[in-house]
Structure 1
Amino acid sequence: MSKPLLGAIHHVALICSDYPRSRAFYGETLGLPIVHEVYRAARDSWKCDLLVSPGVQLELFSFPDPPPRPSRPEAQGLRHLAFAVPDVSAAAAVLGERGVSCEPVRVDEYTGKRFTFFADPDGLPIELYEAD
């Protein structure tokens, strides 16, 4: 078998309906540190890079009047964004203290790992998945 063409995921990009609200949610509520932020006047657009883990970033974009994207039930495209955490219940409790409602913790029937979901300000499903 040949060497894989792709390496690790470098970033995931999200277009936000309300940039300041999403920036606060990902930066403050979820605690992702801002790496770089810039206003791009030619596009009337903000771009904010947040650090998820070494080498992995989440990019937030603002654009004037972006069209909504259907996300439920099971629309085509990105299904959800998942973050690894050492303890799903503890992470969900912290989010609850920060005003974020999580679904009840479930167990993946195939892996035996615990997980839960919550939504970002635009309704994007986000999963907390218990890592080893």
Structure 2
Amino acid sequence: MIPRINRIHHVAIICSDYEKSRHFYTKVLGFVVLQEVYREEKRSYKLDLQVGELYQIELFSFPQPPPRPSRPEAAGLRHLALEVDDIDDAVAAVKWHGVPVEDVRVDEYTGKRFTFFADPDGLPIEFYEK
């Protein structure tokens, strides 16, 4: 028996500096705020962000979250990939905000262009051209 899975609903990210990450995801990447709540008992914000028309990112803050090792080949989530229509426009937009972006490369199997940059906590984010 295999469960019927419709789609990925959301990706959850824990940040170390809520205001800095909120700014990055809403002002630099332009994600729309769906809901923002402060959970007093956890001393934690939960920010629901709309990504395109189907997906969401849940951005959490917790007091003093432990660091997560993030090596390129470490086990676990490797990066967050965001599809863009025009990679040159997307790269220019985040660079305008002072975000360093790697050189654009070409996927050897699909021929699609892609590049990487990082959120304020160093989470690798990929732009992948449609």
TM over 0.5: same fold?
Answer: yes
**1:84-117 residue CA offsets vs partner (Å, 9 max, x unmatched):** 0011111101111111111000000000000000
**Bigger mean CA deviation after superposition, 95-104 or 116-125:** 95-104
Structure 2: which 5+ residue stretches go unaligned?
A: none
Q: What is the TM-score of this pair, normalised by structure 1?
A: 0.94
Q: What is the alpha-carbon distance in structure 2 between the residues aligned to residue 22 and residue 97 of structure 1?
A: 17
Q: Secondary structure at the match of 2:90?
A: helix
Q: Are 1:45 and 2:39 matched, yes or no?
A: no
Counterparts of 1:74-93 in structure 2, within 5 Å, are 74-93=73-92
Identity %: 62
Distance 2:59 2:3 in 1: 28
1:109 is aligned to 108
The equivalent of 1:13 in structure 2 is 12
Deviation at 1:3, TM superposition (A): 7.7
The answer on 1:67 being equivalent to 2:58 is no
Task: Name the count of aligned residue pairs.
Answer: 130
Gaps of 5+ in 1: none
Between the aligned partners of 1:127 and 1:73, the Cα distance in structure 2 is 13
CA root-mean-square deviation: 1.3
- Which piece of structure 1 moves more, 105-114 or 3-12? 3-12
Question: In structure 1, what is the equivalent of residue 97 of structure 2?
Answer: 98
Taking the aligned partners of 1:73 and 1:9, their CA distance within structure 2 comes to 23
Structure 1 residue 22 and structure 2 residue 21: aligned? Answer: yes
- Taking the aligned partners of 1:4 and 1:84, their CA distance within structure 2 comes to 27
